[in-house]
Amino acid sequence: MSLKLSNKLISEQSGMTEGEVGTYLTELQRQQDGSWLAYFAAEIGLRPELCANLSPERTLLIPEWLATHWLDRDER
């Protein structure tokens, strides 16, 4: 099992495409409770449509239960 989140999971939770996640994601930090905090570049503010599911600080919280039980449906 991968220790880092996939761009596909972040994409589905943020409403962005995987390419947009790859472009704007700057850091992933695992929190003490097992959740993950995804940080996005300041430039994403130029694309307000991509910020709809982000906090005002341009972050996205992925809960521990989702990060633990997520399987990329496209993996073979």
Each of the 76 residues of the chain gets a pLDDT tens digit; together they read 446 789 999 999 999 999 999 999 999 999 999 999 999 999 999 999 999 999 999 999 999 999 888 866 555 4
Query: Are 35 and 25 within 8 A, CB to CB?
Result: no
Neighbours of 5 (CB within 10 A): 20
Type of residue found at 36 = W
**Cα 43 from Cα 55, distance rounded (Å):** 15
Q: What is the pTM of this model?
A: 0.86
Give the residue extent of every domain in the chain.
7-69
Order of strands, sheet of 59-62, starting from the edge strand that comes earlier in the sequence: 25-30, 36-40, 59-62
